[in-house]
Structure 1
Amino acid sequence: MTTERAIIAIPMGDPAGIGPEITAKSLTKKEIYDMCKPVVIGDSRVFAKAIDIVEADLKINVISKPEEGKYEYGTVDLIDLDNINIEELEYGVVQAQCGKAAFEYIKTSVDLAKAGEVKALATTPINKESLKAAGVPYIGHTEMLEDLTNTKDPLTMFEVRGMRIFFLTRHLSLKDAIAQMTKERVHDYLIRCDKALQRLGIENRKIAVAGLNPHSGERGLFGREEVDEIGPGIEAGKADGIDAYGPVPADSVFFQALNGKYDAVLSLYHDQGHIAAKMTDFHRTISITNGLPFLRTSVDHGTAFDIAGKNIAASTSMEECIKLAAQYAPRFTAETME
C-alpha cells in the first residue's frame, strides 16, 4: 500500500541569504519528490535567480494555493508573494525588505498549515538583523511560531544520525539558564519530551538528562544543582512513569545516545546540546519544533551572507530537513495533536 505524499511548505528564507539557493539545489533531488510534495513560499523572481545561480534544470509553476501544485520532479510549485524589489536586492547585505519578506513567507506557511492545506513546514534560514531592520518583533523562527500559533514554550528537538536532543533552555546566558534548572522545570520537560517522542512514533522511550557540572557534580563536590534540583526533577518524572535516567555526565551522555543507549537526551542549555549535535554531523543536524499544531523541521545554520549568491552553499542540511518532515508528517494526525 502506497502512502500518500504529504504536502510540505518551504518558506524561502531571507532572499539575501542562501535559503533560495539551498532550496533550489534540494529540489533537484528526485528522492525529495518521491517522499513528499514540496511547495515553495516565496518570490518567483528571486527563486528564478537562485535557479540560475545554482545552474539547476528546474521550471517554476506559480500557484495560488497548494492544491493547484503539479508536484512533479523538475517542476517547482511556488506560491508567489511578489514582495521583493529585485533591482534593489543585494546578496549578503542586511535589508529591511528581505526581513519583511522572510517573515511574510513564514506567516503564509503557518496560515496554510493551520488551515490544513500543508502537512508540515521545512524552514530555511532567516536573519535577525534583517528582521530588526524591517521592524519585525521576533528574533527567530521559534518566537514567531510561538506567537503565530498561540503556543506556549515550544519544545525544540535536534535529530542527527538517530540521536535526539531536547533543550531545557534556549537563548539565555549561562547564568540565567542555570537559574531555570529547577526540579519543577526538569519534571515538566521530561513529561513533554516523552509525549513528543511518542508523537514521533518512538516506543520504549529512554530519556537521559545531561549533567550540568563536571561528573554531574560528584554528589555536591562540584556544585549542588544536580543534588538539589536536577536529580529530584528526574525522580519526579520517574514517579510519573517516565523512563528517565541521570543526571548523566555531559561528557559521555551524547556518545551513549548516539550509540543507542538512550532514545533522547535532555540537554540543560543551548551550547551543551548544539555542540554535541554539530560535532556529530554539522550538515545533517535538523531541528524539530514540538508542541505546535503542525510539524516543523528546520536547518540549523544561518543565512551565510558571506557566500550567498555564489553557488557555494551545500544543500545537504536542507535536503535532510525536507526528508525528515516527510518522514514524520504522516504521524501528525488529529489524534496525535491532542
Structure 2
Amino acid sequence: MAVRHLVSLDDLTDDDLRAIVARGAEFSSGQSSPEGVLDGRIAGIYFRRTSTRTRTAFSAGALRLGARIVSFAGGDLQTNTGETSQDTGRVFSRMLDVLVARTADDPAELRAWAAQSRMSVVNAMTADEHPTQGLTDLTTLLRRFGRIEGLRVLYVGEGNNTAAALALGLSRFEGTALELRTPEGYGLGADVAARARASAAAHGSTVVERHDMADLPEDADVIYTTRWQTTGTSKPDADWRERFAPFQVTAGLWRTSPKAVFMHDLPAHRGEEVTAEVLDGDRSIAFDQAENKMHSAMAVLEWCRGGAPR
C-alpha cells in the first residue's frame, strides 16, 4: 500500500480532499462498512495534550477498520529521559503503520516524522491548524446539506487552528462564502489568511474577515464558533474576555439567518462563546458534528494507507 501523510490540508489535492470528505459521509450514513479495511495494521495514537473527540475518534475509528492500536500519553516515552524526538520518530516508523499525533505547537516535528515511506503521519492538531477537524466539518456539511458548493458560513470567535482549517478547506469548494468575525488581535494568522484567500480565488469562493459584529451577512447556512480558550493556549492580555464578549453566539444571530444550523467543534463552555439556548437548541448539530469526527477519522486512516476511493 502507498503511504500518505496529512500534516496540513494543503497536503491534499482537490481530488483527495473531496474523496476523504465523501468517504466520511458514506461511513456516517451507513452506506459503507468499515470492517477489515486495516486488518493487520498497527496504529499509534500519541497525544501529549488533552483530547476527548480527536483521540477517541481515531482510536475507535482504527479499531472499526480492523487495526490494532498502541496508545501513548505524553509522559510515556523516552523523550522524557533525553531521547530526541527524531530518534523516537525513526523507531515509530519501524513498528507502526500509521501514527496519529498531537505533539507541539510547531508542525515541524510531524514533518520530520513524515520524511519516510514506512509509516503514515496524521496531524491531530497543532497551534496553526487542525486539519482533521476541518475534514470533520466538511463531512458534517455534506451530510447536512447534501453538498458543500455554494454554502455560506458565518464563523464567530477566535481565528484559531479550527478556524484556519475551516478556511483552508471550505475555500476549495466552488461558490462557498466564509465570513469570519474575530476579535482584534485574535484573527487568522497572516500566512493562513493569505493561503485561504489564494485558494478562494482559485476556486471561485470567498473568505472575508472582520473584527466587529456589525452588519452581519444575511441568510447564512451555518453559524459556527469554537471555545475561547483553545486547547493548550493562553491569552497574552489580561482583559481578553472583554474583547471576546461581543462575539458570543446568542439566539439573536438567527434574526438575519433564520434557517442556519449551529456548529461547534467542542468542548463548549455554555455562557462564554455560546449560550446554552443555542448549543442545546434545535438548530444545533454540534453533537452530530462530534460523531462525524470518528467517521472522518476512518476516511483519513483509509486514505493514508492508499485505500480511499478516487
TM-score under structure 1 normalisation? 0.33
Q: Which of the two has greater helix per residue?
A: 1
**Structure showing the higher strand proportion among its residues:** 1
Larger radius of gyration: 1
Q: TM-score, normalised by structure 2?
A: 0.35
